[in-house]
Structure 1
Amino acid sequence: MSEENTNSKIDYMLIFIVILLGVISVFTLYTLDPLLAQTKYGDGYYLKQIQWYIVGVVVITAIMFVDYDRLRQVSWLFYGFGIITLLMLYFHFPPYIAHNVNGAWGWFKIPGFGTIQPAEFMKVFLIIFLAHIIVAHKEKYPEHTVKMDLLLLGKIALTALVPIFFLVKQPDLGGVLVLTAITVCMILVSGIKWRIIFAIVGSVLVTGVLIVGVYILLPNQMNDFLKASGLDHVQGRFNAWLNPEEYSQGDAYQLVRAMRAIGSGQLSGKGVHGFEVTQGIPENHTDFIFTAISEQFGFIGASIVITIYFLLIYRLIHVALKCKDPFGSYLITGIIGMFAFQVFQNIGMSIQLLPITGLPLPLISYGGSSSLTYLIAIGIALNVYYRLKTYMFDES
């Protein structure tokens, strides 16, 4: 029997990376403050972001006092609580708190506190519960057979489809994509046979290509279908993505303005408060904050931000590989999927690489629920690293 011990240590590199992103977030919001004061959004968002970071630090500190393995015991409580909040929004209950923003019922507006977006917290809840499901399945069915793999796949799919259903109904396309990305990442490391995964991936890719092909060849029929299905917002975003100039005064307004602003930043940017285009971009302090960074600090500033995110993902992968505990590894894998997809999607939609979805840039965009969700995820990663176990004869 091998001996093991826990070397409690803090991942200062991960903490430093998060601090960098926090500084970039607060500073960018500070530079946008004069512009936001002239809009319906108001001002002082950088101060509010500082407050959320302080709350996040308190939450991370609390998380560090509890062994991450304890999360397995209450994973179903987190998941159940998340589903209940989404169910309440589905029925617009309670009516004086359920809040609609731009046609989406995705928030609770609490007097004296602000708005809370349950879909953000559902991301972490899903990661914890899926990690528990995978570990519990492997403990109960140690035999690695196709039948058992299909059973595990069914459990994972059913668990993920419940919150995805409610987000589709809100509608929250961005949230649906993030939960899907988290689920896919955890399936890839779950131990399910690769021939099963390849079969599923192949089917999804073929379906996706067919859908895009039908949309391009038969746009009118596809638009009628989307309208009949209540997915008009998806139609608008596809139109904006494929033909931004044609819809520059409608669905592609944000995209066209964003690309012009990013391009105008050139190599070194226009400097703080030295820009005008960004004033015409809605949500430039949330979903389109990368546009403001690129315009003010140019290609150099945007490249620095992307590099910091690369280091964040690299560090999380490092923690996942060093962790010998399956539950801890699955937790970090889900967190990696969440961060990697959101960064790629947010930056991609700003440069027309991907369709626009309502996803913030992790740890930089303003948002209480989103910022707190990412910081909770970082807290879990720090917890896993803090309690890494080393075994006798392991390579150092």
Structure 2
Amino acid sequence: MSEENTNSRIDYTLILIIIALAVISIFTLYTLHPFLLEKYPNATYYMSQIKWYIVGTAAIFVIMFFDYDRLRQVSWIFYALGVIALLMLYFHFPPGIADEVNGAWGWFQIPGFGSLQPAEFMKVFLIIFLAHIIVVHNEKYPDHTVKMDLWLLVKVGITSLVPIFFLIKQPDLGGVLVLSSITVCMILVSGIKWRIIFSITVGILIIGGTAFFVYLTFPEQMSTFLNDKGLSHVTGRFDAWLNPDEYSQGVAYQLINAMLAIGSGQLSGKGIGDFEMISKIPEYHTDFIFTSIAEQFGFIGSSIVITIFFLLIYRLIHIALKCKDPFGSYIITGIIGMFAFQVFQNIGMSIQLLPITGLPLPFISYGGSSTLTYMIAIGIVLNIYYRLKTYMFDES
């Protein structure tokens, strides 16, 4: 007979990883401060980042007071609030509050508070709601027939496509890709038969490969088509990725200077505050903060950052595997998908491995909404770990 007990614990390893990333973020923003003052005279981004980490820490303490299982009861409320916020941005409502930044309607400018980006919070809201949908479906249909698996796939797909639609309209390509990666990761662990997943994957690869081949074969025609559909930002990023030298003074300007900054750091970097290339990159404190680290601290510093992210993902996978509750496991899986994709995409776009998208580097890039979202996600993981249930004869 198994004996169940609740081992209340704090995951200090995960906390130390987040502290390390926070220190890197704040210190990097501090070294960038003199250069940022030239563009933003009244801004102190490193102090603002400290403030957001404090707010995020307070959010974690609040989250720890509640059993994460209660999220199942309110998951649809969070999801609905997120969709309503995206809907308001779609209609540019309310006037004067809904704000356009770099051609994208993705922010609310709240007096006395600052900017708020609903798409960031939507990531966590979607994870929680998808976890609830999958758990309820599997409880109702414990036998995984093809029909029921397809029905679950439809429910997950529709739930994800609603916020994805609004992010496409903003436009926010990075947010679309993150929500898609979250959805894919959660589908993989949902219990849907692998032959269904494999068939769909093959179909997507064929369609995607064909579209990419057509784009390479008929670039002008495809660019015209996408521009007519309001997706000119997509064609610009593909052009910059595939032919950076040709567009070095246009859409590839950031990419070329980012690679030059990373390369100039060489093995050990130029030293703290020594920037020669980074000032030529418009978003070197947000989307391209990895280049700031690489130029100052070189390959060694960059490798340390990547290693810490590897430890973060490894730790999250470890907790997900130990969790016996499906709801908790699904949530952590979605969070893993969110972090893993953003780290890979952000660093990959800086070295021309992937096209440029407006995605921050988790916990390091400056950003109030993003930092708070990541801290909330970590708070939920800590809550799940704190309430892990173990059974007699289980490994500790």
Confirm or deny a common fold (TM above 0.5): yes
Using the TM superposition, give the Cα deviation of residue 5 of structure 1 relative to its aligned residue in structure 2, in angstroms.
1.1
How do residues 132-281 of structure 1 correspond to structure 2 at under 5 angstroms?
132-281=132-281
Q: Which residue is equivalent to 2:327?
A: 327
Write the letter of the residue equivalent to 1:6.
T
Distance 2:29 2:394 in 1: 46
- 1:359 correspondence with 2:346: no
Q: Which residue is equivalent to 2:106?
A: 106
Using the TM superposition, give the Cα deviation of residue 2 of structure 1 relative to its aligned residue in structure 2, in angstroms.
3.1
Distance 2:337 2:42 in 1: 33
Distance 1:42 1:254 in 2: 24
Distance 1:160 1:205 in 2: 20
Distance 1:92 1:70 in 2: 33
Using the TM superposition, give the Cα deviation of residue 52 of structure 1 relative to its aligned residue in structure 2, in angstroms.
0.2
Using the TM superposition, give the Cα deviation of residue 40 of structure 1 relative to its aligned residue in structure 2, in angstroms.
4.0
Aligned-partner SS, 1:5? strand
Write the letter of the residue equivalent to 1:48.
S
Write the letter of the residue equivalent to 1:293.
I
Write the letter of the residue equivalent to 1:255.
L
**1:1-57 deviation digits (Å, cap 9, x = unpaired):** 632111000000000000000000000000000000011475310000000000000
Q: Which residue is equivalent to 2:77?
A: 77
> Following TM superposition, where does structure 1 have runs of at least 4 consecutive aligned residues deviating by more than 4 angstroms?
none
**1:307-342 deviation digits (Å, cap 9, x = unpaired):** 000000000000000000000000000000000000
Distance 2:55 2:177 in 1: 27
Contact 1:14 1:312 in 2 (8 A): yes
Give the RMSD, CA atoms, in angstroms: 0.8
Aligned-partner SS, 1:360? coil
Q: Which residue is equivalent to 2:395?
A: 395
Using the TM superposition, give the Cα deviation of residue 215 of structure 1 relative to its aligned residue in structure 2, in angstroms.
0.7
Could you tell me which runs of 5 or more consecutive residues in structure 1 were left unpaired when the two chains were aligned.
Answer: none
Distance 1:351 1:42 in 2: 31
More moved, 276-285 vs 45-54:
276-285
- 1:318 correspondence with 2:286: no
Distance 1:184 1:200 in 2: 11
Write the letter of the residue equivalent to 2:105.
W
Using the TM superposition, give the Cα deviation of residue 143 of structure 1 relative to its aligned residue in structure 2, in angstroms.
1.5
Q: Which residue is equivalent to 1:21?
A: 21
How do residues 38-49 of structure 1 correspond to structure 2 at under 5 angstroms?
38-40=38-40, 42-49=42-49
**1:354-381 deviation digits (Å, cap 9, x = unpaired):** 0000000000000000000000000000
Write the letter of the residue equivalent to 1:236.
G
Q: Which residue is equivalent to 2:60?
A: 60
Q: Which residue is equivalent to 2:125?
A: 125
Distance 1:339 1:227 in 2: 31
Distance 2:100 2:7 in 1: 48
**1:200-238 deviation digits (Å, cap 9, x = unpaired):** 111111111111111110011101110111100000000
How do residues 330-345 of structure 1 correspond to structure 2 at under 5 angstroms?
330-345=330-345
Distance 1:304 1:41 in 2: 32
Write the letter of the residue equivalent to 2:147.
K
**1:43-86 deviation digits (Å, cap 9, x = unpaired):** 31000000000000000000001000000000000000000000
Distance 2:228 2:54 in 1: 46
Distance 1:206 1:147 in 2: 24
Distance 2:41 2:276 in 1: 17
Distance verdict in 2 for CA 1:42–1:249, change over 3 Å? farther
Distance verdict in 2 for CA 1:6–1:352, change over 3 Å? same
**1:103-147 deviation digits (Å, cap 9, x = unpaired):** 100000011211000000000000000000000001111111111
Write the letter of the residue equivalent to 1:123.
K
User: TM-score, length-normalised on structure 2?
Assistant: 0.99
Count of aligned pairs: 396
Write the letter of the residue equivalent to 2:351.
I
Contact 1:36 1:42 in 2 (8 A): no
Q: Which residue is equivalent to 1:375?
A: 375
Q: Percent identity?
A: 76
Distance 1:326 1:312 in 2: 21
- 1:301 correspondence with 2:311: no
- 1:51 correspondence with 2:57: no
Q: Which residue is equivalent to 1:346?
A: 346
Distance 1:140 1:3 in 2: 27
Aligned-partner SS, 1:191? coil
